[in-house]
Chain A
Amino acid sequence: MNRELQIRFYNCQLNELDSLKEYLEKKAAQGWMLEKRKGSICYFRKCKPKKVKFSVEIFDKASEFMVDYNATNEEYIEYCKAAGWNFVSAEGKVQIFYTEDKSAIPIETDPQQKFETVHKSIFKQYIKNWFIGIILGLLYLIKLSDGIVEIFSSYMSFSIILLGISMVILNTFQVIIYYRWFHKIKEKIKNGEEFYYYKNLGSLVSKIMVACIGTAWFVGVLVVSYLSGDKVLMFILLIFVSVPIFLFGSSILSVLTQKNGIMKEMKQTIYYKVIIIITFAVTGGIIIFFIAVEFFGLGNKNIKNTKYIDTDGTISWEAKHNDSLIFTLEDMGIKLQGEYNKNAEKGDSFIISKENYYEEPLGEDTEKDYLAYTIYRVKNKWLYDKVVKEVTKDNEFDFNKLEMIHIQGYKVYHTEDAMHYHSYLLLMDNLVLDLQTNLKLNEKQLQIVINKLD
């Protein structure tokens, strides 16, 4: 049984279907007849080279999830069949027919109506894209309500927001490009000029933009996950790499199948096996490379202690040594009694570096001294003011009621609550310290803190 099959990737928008039609006619003339089309993947079966006419049409009644011959498109297909058009494949609204009858009436004979159908379908697509954009926008607003510090202190949340903004910009760009095309064609119809739904430059540019944004985001997250040591995220991303590798491998193999005599007799099952092996080999190779890099100690060496990585990219580690903390109770001359839990947490973002540190007694002994502080390092003046505002709001500080002292030229605010817990807010150049402790720190101790931070 001859099972020679060729797989080709051919992507086009709903207003570029004539280019697909020409492509299919060219393939048939070369001896490859379209068998089915799934998404942008076309499956061709070897045949005798023949001159056939293809028609790629939009069937507006079909939903995007409908495939092949079904209850919705059967009547439409019957009409086409009666006019001499043979049904080949349907996916979503796109229906593909062919005929060997050169005199067959075209499926669409009213350019105005066809244009309206194309426009309606694309318009629906844009509405859907805008809806996704709005959802992302809402997510962005929800994230904003968490506070600006939360957004800018993690690469992951910041990159998701950037991705959302990029998508909105891209959608806007696509709509502008589309409407330029729409008005051009509308004018042509009005003037009775002939036109075709060929590939247009605008859609090519928007595809390149999508590819660039997607690749930049993917590579960015991959690099950050590697630098921050988040192996789980890194491996998940690498698994995703296998998808484009699979598609690329498939295209390469399919070109070889067509051009190279050695591959000509390749059976479909072997074909897929080869693609899967290539995919696993490449993906596996990359994963092994990263494992090897890690094994030989070329990875991040900065963190010596037991480390945990949160889903938002925050690294935290249980400090085995005091050097993981910027300053400790002992630095301020406080003697520790019993065992203490020491913890340090550092965000991965360079925009706002948020670091959390604490030293607290193990167990529930509330009498023992403790220290907990957050350091925000931020260079941008606007963001610095936002950080101060948010920290003030979170701690319910009222600057009018706070005690303020100047130490080494820096402002230190202090307050004490009814439980005798003390809060300190230290404002240095590009740095904000939010400190909580049960101790009332004296000026000398505060100087130690400033010296450690300076």
Chain B
Amino acid sequence: MAREKFQTLTEQMFYILIALLDECCGVDIMEKVERITNGRVSVGPGTLYSLLNSFEKEGMIEETMVNGRKRSYKITVSGRELLESEFQRLKLLIADYQEINNRK
């Protein structure tokens, strides 16, 4: 079910995985996503918490450090593959758009 959920990544999922290309503390991800997207995409704390749990459960990210109540995560190989396949899918979308648009 969860794998099915990640067949197509939402913007928030996509940017959380990007944020975790480098080790990052859970609560800092919200800020990092805002920074990467220049404030275009915001991830709410509840959404972030749930997604981190789902990603970890599916082996897309792994916990790297626990410091008190703060946990740090990093993307795994499977996570990178997922991110890459999403990137390829998005590239295909763009290519299809460009091809049809150029014909007009």
Chain A interface residues (CB < 8 Å from chain B): 57, 59-61, 74-76, 78-80, 82-83, 85, 105-110, 112-114, 117
Contact = CB atoms under 8 A, between A and B. Distances in A.
Contacts of A74: 69
Given A105-B30, A109-B12, A78 B46 contact: no
B13 to A, nearest CB: 9
Contact of A109 (B43, B53, B70): B43
A113 B69 contact: no
B27 A79 contact: yes
Nearest to B42: A105
Contacts of B46: 57, 59, 76, 79-80, 107-108, 114
A42 to B, nearest CB: 21
**Main DSSP-derived SS at the B contact region:** helix
A210 to B, nearest CB: 30
A79 B48 CA distance: 8
B27 A82 contact: yes
B91 interface: no
A107 B44 contact: yes
A108 B50 CA distance: 10
21 contacts: A75-B26, A75-B49, A78-B69, A78-B70, A82-B30, A83-B30, A83-B44, A105-B30, A106-B44, A107-B44, A107-B47, A108-B44, A108-B46, A109-B12, A110-B10, A110-B12, A110-B44, A110-B51, A112-B10, A114-B46, A117-B50
Contacts of B42: 105, 109
B2 to A, nearest CB: 11
B90 to A, nearest CB: 19
B65 to A, nearest CB: 14
Given A78-B27, A79-B26, A83-B30, A109 B47 contact: yes
B45 interface: yes
Interface of B: 10, 12, 26-27, 30, 42-51, 53, 69-71
B85 to A, nearest CB: 20
A106 B12 CA distance: 14
Contact of B45 (A60, A107, A114): A107
- For the complex of A and B, the 6 pairs showing the least CB-CB separation, nearest first, are A109-B44, A79-B45, A107-B46, A82-B27, A83-B45, A105-B42
Nearest to A112: B10
Contacts of A76: 45-46, 49
Contacts of B49: 75-76, 79
Nearest to A108: B46
Contacts of A61: 53
A68 to B, nearest CB: 16
A59 B46 CA distance: 8
Nearest to A58: B46
A82 B69 contact: no
A79 B26 CA distance: 8
A77 to B, nearest CB: 9
Given A60-B50, A113-B51, A117-B50, A75 B69 contact: yes
A105 B44 contact: yes
B10 to A, nearest CB: 6
Nearest to A74: B69
Nearest to B68: A78
A249 B101 CA distance: 71
Nearest to B43: A109
B3 to A, nearest CB: 15
A118 B87 CA distance: 31
Contacts of B48: 79
Nearest to A107: B46
Given A78-B27, A79-B26, A117-B50, 10 more contacts: A78-B69, A78-B70, A82-B45, A85-B45, A105-B44, A107-B47, A108-B44, A108-B47, A109-B43, A114-B47
